[in-house]
Structures are given as structure tokens and as C-alpha cells.
């Protein structure tokens, strides 16, 4: 796999796989188990499925954490669930349908899957009786957040995204093909997700994700949500790790140019998982922006 990408591509692939999902903790079974004295786990019926979420804190400002590909609230946002101010914020971290404990159903990727996730996310928060929320979206979750902010502006207070892209290029597709075969992933990267999903589900879903993302390359301008960016009205912070091996800098720049009034914050040593690697710095940046 790496050899097929060439020397530079192989190095980028190794960087990607080493930072894809580090430090994953497998969620405990049971739809309403308490994870600790301050974090609760539950499911709620939304749009024909049962969506799992974690909830912590009792602040007036409600924040929804949106995970990336194959991710869940717990696997992708441990430092945020644990350390974002519980006095200032009520934090909800969800598992999109087909991911984490929001199964069944199995995850699928029709061309409108990001739009579906955005509606699910907004409707989940409505089901929890929250009228207006801020969004923290990582990678695929950042795309979902952008769509939610554009489609449901009255529901969104503020937004922070990182590792997201609004369209797909040939360069992006090459990187995605590089992670298609999970048997080629490093054991450190693969094993925690394999424990969560089982190898067959993990492998099958990753392949389907790559094919799902490839669909957008055949749309005008390779658009995932680039046509929606001018509709975003909420204050938006775009964070980008300048060493991100999966999402090149031009994607962050494009979103910054087309989301009116947005701010771009660069982290020189940040990679795709900057919110985990530099959790304290990231959390402070988020808390300052949301306040």
C-alpha cells in the first residue's frame, strides 16, 4: 500500500496512520450506563434510529462534539469530555448512526450521508430539549458541522471545526485510497477500533467510507459542502494543524475565505489529531472562543 504511493506518499501515510485514532477507549456496553460520577451515557430515538450520546457538565452553554470517520464521542473526544469546563458548558458527544454505540443500523454512505448526519445531530439536540447549541466538529464531524450550521442556522450558536474539507481533489482521493485496507494499518491504530467494531465491520466500513467520499469527486467542483459555506451565519473558528497529513492547508484556507467572518488559527506542530495531542492548548482555545 505505502509503496504504491511513492516515497513521499508513504511517509504521509505513515504519519496519518500513526495519528488517526490514538488513545482510543472502547465505550462500555449498555445504553444508559454511567461512565463516571459526572459523565452519563444514553440512547434516544431520532429519525428512525437510536443514537447514543455522552453528556457531562451543567453549564448554560450547550456544546455538541461531532466525531470523525469510524469515530464515536468517547473514542474521539476523551480530553474534551473530561476537561472542558463543566461549570460553563453542558457537553454532549454523539455517535453518528452506524458508528460507536449507535448501531444498529450498520453504517452506509449514500451521497447525502453528511446531510443525514447533520439532520440527525440537530434533531438529537432537539430531542434532548436544547434549542441552541455550539458545534465542535473534527474531520468528517467538521463537515457535518458546516452543513448543520448552513442548513439550520437558528439552532447553532457558534462553531469550531478542524481537519475538515468542503470538497474532494485528486490528492485527497490518493490519501483516502492509502487507508482503504485496514489490514495494512499499524497494530496500534487498528486494534482499538477492532475491539470496538470487530475486524470485519471495521474493514468493511472503512472500504465503504472511501467509496462514499469518492462520490463527491464526481459532483461539480468535487463539492461536499462548498456551495453551503456562504450560508453559514454563526461565529466560526477554523483550527488547522500545519503538519496534518490527511487534510492539506488549502482546505482550511478555502473554508476560511468562504465562511463570512470566520477566524483561522494555525497550530504549527498540529497534525490531524491536534485536539488530542495538544489537548490543553486546544481546550483553552475553544473555551475562549465559545465565551
**Residues 51, 31: Cα–Cα separation, whole Å:** 10
**Residues 92, 259: Cα–Cα separation, whole Å:** 25
**Residues 287, 85: Cα–Cα separation, whole Å:** 8
| pLDDT band at residue 26 using 50, 70 and 90 as cut-offs | very low
What percent of the chain shows pLDDT beyond 70?
A: 87
**Residues 158, 134: Cα–Cα separation, whole Å:** 5
- Using the predicted structure, report yes or no on whether residue 204 has a pLDDT greater than 60: yes
Q: Which residues are catalytic?
A: 139, 244, 272
What is the average per-residue pLDDT within 68-78? 95
User: Residue ranges of the domains in the chain?
Assistant: 3-290
**Residues 266, 176: Cα–Cα separation, whole Å:** 23
Handedness of CA 243, 180, 255, 123 (dihedral sign): negative
- 75-78-81 Cα angle (round to 5): 125
- What pLDDT does residue 56 have? 98
C-alpha cell at 108: 452506509
C-alpha cell at 210: 472511501
Which among 224, 258, 23, 260 has a CA at the least distance from the CA of 141?
Answer: 224
Handedness of CA 237, 89, 116, 31 (dihedral sign): positive
Which among 41, 21, 23, 44 has a CA at the least distance from the CA of 32?
Answer: 41
66: buried, middle or exposed (CB in 10 Å: 19+, 13-18, 0-12)?
buried
- Using the predicted structure, report yes or no on whether residue 189 has a pLDDT greater than 80: yes
- What pLDDT does residue 11 have? 52
Q: Which CATH number applies to 3-290?
A: 3.40.50.1820
Give me the residue label for grid cell 463543566.
86
Within 8 A by CB and 6+ apart from 175, the residues are: 9, 12, 13, 16, 245, 246
Quote the mean pLDDT of the chain: 90
- What pLDDT does residue 10 have? 45
In three-state secondary structure terms, 203 is helix
Pairing of strands 133-138, 263-267: unpaired
Pairing of strands 133-138, 61-66: parallel
pLDDT, tens only, 118-164: 999 999 999 999 999 999 999 999 999 999 999 999 999 999 999 99
What is the average per-residue pLDDT within 161-186? 96
Of the candidate ranges 99-103, 156-160, 168-172, 184-188, the one whose mean pLDDT is the lowest: 184-188
Cis peptide preceding 105, ω within 30 of 0: yes
Amino acid at each position: 500500500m505505502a509503496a504504491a504511493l511513492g516515497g513521499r506518499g508513504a511517509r504521509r501515510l505513515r504519519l496519518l496512520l500513526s495519528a488517526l485514532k490514538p488513545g482510543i477507549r472502547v465505550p462500555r456496553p449498555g445504553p444508559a450506563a454511567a461512565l463516571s460520577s459526572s459523565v452519563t451515557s444514553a440512547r434516544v430515538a431520532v429519525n428512525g434510529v437510536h443514537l447514543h450520546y455522552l453528556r457531562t457538565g451543567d453549564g448554560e452553554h450547550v456544546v455538541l462534539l461531532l466525531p470523525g470517520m469510524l469515530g464515536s464521542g468517547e473514542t474521539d473526544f476523551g480530553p474534551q469530555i473530561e476537561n472542558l469546563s463543566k461549570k460553563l458548558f453542558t457537553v454532549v458527544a454523539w455517535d453518528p448512526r452506524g458508528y460507536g454505540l449507535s448501531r444498529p443500523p450498520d453504517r452506509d454512505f449514500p451521497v447525502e450521508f453528511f446531510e443525514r448526519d447533520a439532520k440527525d445531530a440537530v434533531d438529537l439536540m432537539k430531542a434532548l430539549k436544547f434549542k441552541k447549541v455550539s458545534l465542535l466538529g473534527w474531520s468528517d464531524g467538521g463537515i457535518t458541522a458546516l452543513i448543520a450550521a448552513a442548513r439550520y442556522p437558528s439552532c447553532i450558536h457558534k462553531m469550531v471545526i478542524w481537519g475538515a474539507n468542503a470538497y474532494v481533489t485528486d490528492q485527497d482521493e490518493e490519501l483516502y485510497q492509502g487507508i482503504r485496507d485496514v489490514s495494512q494499518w499499524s497494530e496500534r491504530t487498528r486494534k482499538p477500533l477492532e475491539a470496538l467494531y470487530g475486524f470485519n465491520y471495521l474493514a468493511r466500513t472503512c472500504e465503504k467510507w472511501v467509496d462514499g467520499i469518492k462520490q463527491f469527486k464526481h459532483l461539480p467542483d468535487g463539492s461536499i459542502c462548498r456551495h453551503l459555506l456562504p450560508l453559514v451565519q454563526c461565529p466560526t473558528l477554523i483550527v488547522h494543524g500545519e503538519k496534518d497529513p490527511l487534510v492539506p492547508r488549502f482546505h482550511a484556507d478555502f473554508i476560511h475565505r468562504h465562511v463570512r467572518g470566520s477566524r483561522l488559527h494555525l497550530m504549527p506542530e498540529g497534525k490531524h489529531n491536534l485536539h488530542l495531542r495538544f489537548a490543553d492548548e486546544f481546550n483553552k482555545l475553544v473555551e475562549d472562543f465559545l465565551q
